[in-house]
């Protein structure tokens, strides 16, 4: 991961934190699930970012944001080659299949795997060179994708997906390791979690 990429992730996390703090007073006393983001760079001149936000704050943010393609907690997508109802049908088919690996892409640089396992949609990316330590692990509860797709045609329901995260038991959602850099995004019920 380059310093620019790490800096971009840090900037995005910080922006989310600032936006969240602006809405936090309205959510005071809210108990429940928390989203945690850690961006750590142990290399020379490394930076670290720690963000802890109640999911309820993100839910409020989703309601508050008004932009060209985002309003009312929903993303409005333009139709491309696949129509939203076709995408939902494909998703239902994937959801109803047994646990399995759907996609494997192997190249000289990396291996990418997409699978369904134990109620989760998984994506794993590993460096082909075992001497390198680069890897990405993304774990999305199936219920979150279901909720995201519960919207009128041409939309994705971000607010419903966040609510599904509240109902999720907790754990890691994203981990990225690249040399001295580590990014972790997870959900739990602790406002001040144990760090990575």
Residue 83 lies in a domain: yes
Q: What is the pLDDT of residue 67?
A: 66
Q: Which position has the higher pLDDT, 28 or 76?
A: 76
| Helix residue ranges per DSSP H, the chain | 3-23, 55-64, 84-96, 142-148, 158-167
pLDDT tens digit string along 45-76? Answer: 778 889 898 887 877 776 666 666 666 666 66
Residue 196 lies in a domain: no
Q: Which position has the higher pLDDT, 75 or 100?
A: 100
For the four alpha carbons of 93, 95, 100 and 101, in that order, the dihedral sign comes to positive
Structure token pair of residue 50: 């720690």
Residue 195 lies in a domain: no
pLDDT tens digit string along 151-184? Answer: 776 677 878 887 887 787 788 888 888 877 888 9
Q: What is the pLDDT of residue 72?
A: 64
Euclidean distance between CA atoms 12 and 33, whole angstroms? 21
Number of domains in the chain: 1
Residue 24 lies in a domain: yes
0.75 surpassed by pTM: no
Residue 193 lies in a domain: no
**For residue 192, is pLDDT > 60?**
yes
Q: Which of the four pLDDT bands, split at 50, 70 and 90, describes residue 80? A: low
Residue 173 lies in a domain: yes
Residue 147 lies in a domain: yes
Tell me the mean pLDDT in the region 110-139: 85
Range of the domain at 12: 3-188
Q: What is the pLDDT of residue 70?
A: 64
Residue 16 lies in a domain: yes
pLDDT tens digit string along 129-146? Answer: 656 668 888 888 899 888
Q: Is 118 left (phi over 0), alpha (psi -120 to 50) or beta?
A: left
């Amino acid at each position: 991961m380059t310093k620019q990429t790490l800096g971009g992730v840090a900037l995005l996390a910080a922006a989310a934190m600032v936006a969240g703090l602006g809405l936090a007073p309205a959510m005071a006393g809210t108990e429940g699930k928390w989203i945690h983001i850690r961006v750590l760079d142990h290399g020379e001149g490394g930076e670290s970012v720690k963000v802890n936000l109640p999911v309820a704050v993100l839910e409020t943010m989703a309601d508050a944001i008004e932009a060209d393609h985002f309003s009312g907690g929903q993303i409005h997508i333009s139709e491309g080659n696949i129509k939203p109802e076709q995408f939902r049908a494909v998703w239902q088919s994937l959801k109803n299949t047994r646990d399995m690996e759907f996609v494997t892409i192997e190249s000289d640089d990396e291996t990418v795997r997409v699978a369904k396992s134990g109620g989760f949609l998984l994506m794993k990316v590993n460096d082909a060179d075992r001497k390198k330590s680069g890897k990405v692990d993304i774990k999305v509860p199936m219920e979150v994708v279901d909720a995201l797709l519960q919207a009128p045609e041409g939309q994705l329901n971000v607010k419903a997906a966040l609510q599904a995260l509240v109902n999720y038991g907790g754990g890691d959602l994203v981990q990225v390791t690249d040399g001295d850099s580590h990014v972790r995004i997870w959900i739990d019920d602790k406002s001040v979690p144990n760090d990575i």
